Each structure stands twice: as structure tokens, then as C-alpha cells.
């Protein structure tokens, strides 16, 4: 999984501020690549309430965001 905050619809919203990427990993510029094990570990931590969940909502490249 590649997490690119600049390509996420939640970027700059309250959900972004409560995302594991910005709250724990502090990644907001370069895409972050997570393997299956990292994804599972973050999911387990989020399920246990220890970190915020991943709130990534990727933009669809075939759709202009401004047009809704």
C-alpha cells in the first residue's frame, strides 16, 4: 500500500489530523509505502485504540475532484 497524503481527499480536514499517518508517523509530503505486516500492525494498534486509524481516501485519477 502506498499512502500519498497529497492524493488523499481527507488531506487538510479534521479526519487528516486524526489519521495515524499525521498523528504518529508525521508523514505529510512524500508517499509512504507500507507492506502487509506494517498495515496489519497499524490496524491492530488502531483496533486496540492505541493509535488513530488510517483515514486514507484516495482521489480517483479519472475524476476531477472540483466537479464533485
For residue 42, being part of any structural domain is answered with yes
In a domain, 66, yes or no: no
8 within some domain: yes
The pTM assigned to this predicted structure is 0.57
Give the closest residue to 31 by CA, choosing from 11, 55, 2. Answer: 2
Phi, psi of 2 (to 5 degrees): -110, 125
Residue 13 inside a domain? The answer is yes
16 belongs to a structural domain: yes
Domain containing 30 equals 2-59
In a domain, 64, yes or no: no
Kindly indicate the confidence band of residue 68, based on its pLDDT and cuts at 50, 70 and 90: very low
Kindly state whether residue 67 falls inside one of the protein's structural domains: no
Q: How many domains does the chain have?
A: 1
38 touches 32 (CB < 8 A): no
pLDDT in tens, 42-63: 899 989 988 888 888 877 776 5
For residue 55, tell me if it sits in a domain: yes
Amino acid at each position: 500500500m502506498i499512502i500519498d497524503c497529497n492524493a488523499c481527499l481527507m488531506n487538510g480536514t479534521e479526519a487528516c489530523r486524526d489519521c495515524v499517518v499525521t498523528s504518529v508517523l508525521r508523514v505529510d509530503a512524500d508517499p509512504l509505502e507500507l507492506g502487509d505486516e506494517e498495515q496489519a500492525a497499524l490496524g491492530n494498534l488502531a483496533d486496540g485504540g492505541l493509535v488513530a486509524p488510517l483515514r486514507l481516501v484516495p482521489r480517483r485519477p479519472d475524476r476531477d475532484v472540483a466537479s464533485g
